[in-house]
């Protein structure tokens, strides 16, 4: 499914896949770690500028001293360079750790980080999350997120699932794999929110972790009676 996981993570993910506890599947960039804000600072350090003009990176990045937009292929290069040193730039989203810990304690929920990044960056990201006390297992994959969730639901397809992500396409993939999922849209970088395309049916927007925690807590309390 994914490469470059630690042996400990492989063991924990196999255990997660056998468990019937409620599952919280949590994206990393823009949900657990700030992504857009530090990426903008990274671009600044390379004499480029980001303008929040649409819900894309392409077309929004400009060369500072000429004002020319950056071509798509060069944006991929910036992203690669950023991920190769992202642990020096990214910081946790406010209240992420405390919220996840309280959901684990209150509902016996199990958390897995599901990040859409090339698995070769796994160790660097793992170290960064650990350094901030975000020690839950992580799956780094470029496959559709629904595929990873299907593996986690193989043994107990009816276990409750809450999912958090900033990208509508990931919600569609998850809801296709598990339609009963509580799908919450969260995006830490506020200025891009107004450019968001309409969210897919069944996806609810939350503005921050305290609100997400309330939504997930209510959902898990309601499903507890059904388990």
Contacts with Mg ion by CB under 5 A lie at 27, 29-30, 166
* Position with the least CB separation from Mg ion: 29
Residue nearer to Mg ion on the CB measure, 29 or 34: 29
Residue nearer to Mg ion on the CB measure, 9 or 29: 29
198 vs 55, 130, 180, 213, CA distance in Å? 11, 34, 20, 23
Taking a C-beta distance cutoff of 8 angstroms, is the pair 119, 3 a contact?
yes
Residue nearer to Mg ion on the CB measure, 9 or 27: 27
Report in angstroms how near the CB of residue 40 gets to Mg ion at its nearest: 15
Report in angstroms how near the CB of residue 4 gets to Mg ion at its nearest: 19
Report in angstroms how near the CB of residue 64 gets to Mg ion at its nearest: 26
In eight-state DSSP terms, residue 93 is P
Report in angstroms how near the CB of residue 35 gets to Mg ion at its nearest: 6
**How far, in Å, CA of 19 to CA of 23, rounded?**
9
Q: Return the biggest CA–CA distance within the chain.
A: 61
**How far, in Å, CA of 42 to CA of 36, rounded?**
10
Residue nearer to Mg ion on the CB measure, 117 or 182: 117
């Amino acid at each position: 499914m994914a490469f470059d996981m630690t042996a400990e993570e492989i063991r924990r993910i196999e255990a997660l896949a056998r468990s019937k506890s409620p599952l919280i599947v949590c994206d990393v960039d823009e949900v657990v770690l700030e992504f857009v804000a530090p990426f903008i600072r990274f671009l600044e350090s390379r004499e480029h500028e980001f303008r929040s003009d649409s819900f894309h990176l392409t077309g929004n990045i400009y060369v500072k001293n000429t004002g020319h937009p950056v071509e798509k292929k060069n944006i991929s290069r910036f992203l690669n360079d950023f991920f190769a040193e992202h642990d020096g730039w990214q910081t946790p989203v406010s209240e992420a750790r405390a919220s996840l810990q309280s959901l684990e304690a209150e509902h016996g929920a199990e958390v897995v980080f599901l990040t859409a990044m090339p698995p070769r960056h796994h160790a660097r990201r793992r170290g960064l999350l650990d350094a901030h006390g975000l020690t839950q297992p992580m799956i780094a994959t470029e496959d559709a997120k629904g595929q990873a969730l299907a593996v986690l639901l193989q043994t107990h397809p009816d276990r409750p699932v809450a999912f958090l992500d900033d990208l509508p396409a990931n919600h569609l993939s998850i809801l296709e794999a598990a339609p009963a999922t509580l799908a919450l849209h969260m995006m830490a970088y506020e200025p891009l929110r107004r450019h968001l395309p309409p969210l897919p049916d069944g996806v609810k927007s939350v503005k921050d972790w305290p609100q997400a925690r309330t939504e997930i807590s209510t959902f898990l309390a309601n499903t507890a009676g059904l388990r």
